[in-house]
Structure formats: C-alpha cells, structure tokens
C-alpha cells in the first residue's frame, strides 16, 4: 500500500504572494459564468503560474518521484471548491501528479466552522478512522498555524510523520528533508 500524504496548500505550497486561493476561486467563478473564457486565456496565465511556489512545487515533485504517495487534501480550499475545481487548480498550477494520485476519499472531513487550525488534527484522525488500513502509512504536510493542533497529537511516536512548514515561507529544503525521512521510515528504510 502506498503512503498517504495529507496535504495542505496555504503556507505550504501557496504563499498567497502575489496570488492565492481566493484568486483561484474568483477565476473559477468567472470561467463558469462568463462564456468564451478558458483556463488558457492570457489573463489567467500568471495566476496559474504563480499560484503555487516554484520551490515548493519542486520539492513536492521530487518527493512524488521517489515515493509515489497517494494524496488526501486537508487544505481549507476544500471548503470552497469541489473535486473538479480542485483538480483543475492542481493541474493548472503545475501539480498534475497530485490530481492524478488523489485517494478515492480525497479530502478530510471538515470539522467546525471552516476547519483550519481549530481542527486539522481532528479532521485527519477522523479520516483515518473512516479509512481502515491507512492508519499505519501516512504523513502530514501542513503549516504551523493550521497544524497547531498536532502539538497535542495523541501518539508521540507518530510526531515524526507530521511536518509543519513555517508561515509565509512554505515547503523548503528543511521540511523536504523531514518529509523524506518520514517516508523512508514508513517504508522501513533509513536515510
């Protein structure tokens, strides 16, 4: 069985500078409502190019090439986008391999008002409870704000499988190394 990667977007892949999730939502709304617009239109090229940080994409691409995880989205973007919209954003934003490797149950349950920092750990635990057989093979990639509830994670032995990115910095070589170690541990290998 492939390792599950619970994936957040904001402050991990999307640094919201110069564009972010709300820009993607606005673009998707316009594409749906305005006849004649398409994803490839010049006005959207910069949005898709800048939505996800190039360095973060490169690290996630390398991780995917080595470990081929199955992805479950824990991002707050799932509050505002359905699967088709998330798929389109991932593909246009340069992460087609994530879209191609989403788990059948591709998103964590949304807890409370908007999920986010109030319940990210709970949402992932709920997903694991609803998907027996996945509880031994998972890694979390989140940010320090949304992932704050992981500090109280119920099993200290699993903390090395939870990698938190710094706010406004995202996925860097530091978190990539931690992620790689977590995947190697799940695979029973040492780095």
- Does residue 28 belong to any structural domain of this protein? no
Q: How confident is the model at residue 169 (pLDDT cuts 50, 70, 90)?
A: very high
- Does residue 35 belong to any structural domain of this protein? no
What is the dihedral angle through the alpha carbons of 14, 79, 136, 90, rounded to the nearest 10 degrees?
-40
H runs (alpha helix) in the chain:
21-33, 42-51, 54-67, 83-92, 96-100, 120-130, 173-186
| Count of domains forming the chain | 1
Average pLDDT over all residues of the chain = 90
This prediction has a pTM of 0.92
- Does residue 102 belong to any structural domain of this protein? yes
pLDDT tens-digit series, residues 51-80: 999 999 999 999 999 999 999 999 999 999
Any idea which residue has 């994936």 for tokens?
A: 7
Structure tokens at 116: 């986010």
pLDDT confidence of residue 118 = 52
pLDDT confidence of residue 114 = 43
- Does residue 43 belong to any structural domain of this protein? no
- Does residue 60 belong to any structural domain of this protein? yes
> CA–CA separation, 40 vs 48, rounded Å?
9
Q: Residue 71 belongs to what domain range?
A: 4-15+52-186
Q: Report the percentage of the chain scoring pLDDT > 90.
A: 71
Which of 54-58, 93-97, 133-137, 143-147 is the least confident region? Answer: 133-137
- Does residue 20 belong to any structural domain of this protein? no
- Does residue 31 belong to any structural domain of this protein? no
pLDDT confidence of residue 188 = 87
Say which CATH number the domain at 174 has. Answer: 3.40.50
Q: How confident is the model at residue 156 (pLDDT cuts 50, 70, 90)?
A: confident
DSSP 25-65: HHHHHHHHHSTT--TTSHHHHHHHHHHS-HHHHHHHHHHHH
pLDDT tens-digit series, residues 142-152: 999 988 888 87
Peptide bond into 130 cis (omega under 30): no
Give Cα 106 to chain centroid, integer Å: 11
């Amino acid at each position: 069985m492939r390792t599950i990667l619970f994936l957040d977007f904001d402050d991990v892949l999307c640094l919201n500078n110069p564009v972010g999730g709300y820009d993607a939502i606005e673009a998707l709304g316009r594409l749906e409502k305005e006849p004649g617009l398409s994803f490839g239109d010049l006005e959207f090229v910069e949005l898709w190019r800048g939505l996800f940080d190039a360095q973060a994409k490169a690290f996630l691409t390398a991780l995917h090439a080595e470990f081929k995880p199955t992805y479950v989205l824990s991002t707050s973007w799932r509050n505002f986008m359905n699967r088709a919209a998330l798929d389109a954003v991932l593909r246009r934003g340069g992460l087609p391999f994530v879209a191609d490797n989403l788990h059948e149950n591709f998103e964590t349950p949304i807890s409370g008002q908007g999920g986010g920092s109030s319940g990210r750990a709970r949402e992932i635990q709920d997903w694991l409870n609803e998907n027996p057989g996945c509880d031994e093979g998972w890694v979390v990639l989140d940010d320090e704000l949304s992932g704050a509830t992981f500090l109280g994670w119920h099993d200290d032995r699993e903390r090395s499988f939870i990698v938190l990115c710094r706010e406004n910095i995202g996925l860097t070589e530091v978190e990539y190394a931690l992620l790689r170690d977590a995947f190697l541990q799940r695979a029973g290998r040492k780095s």
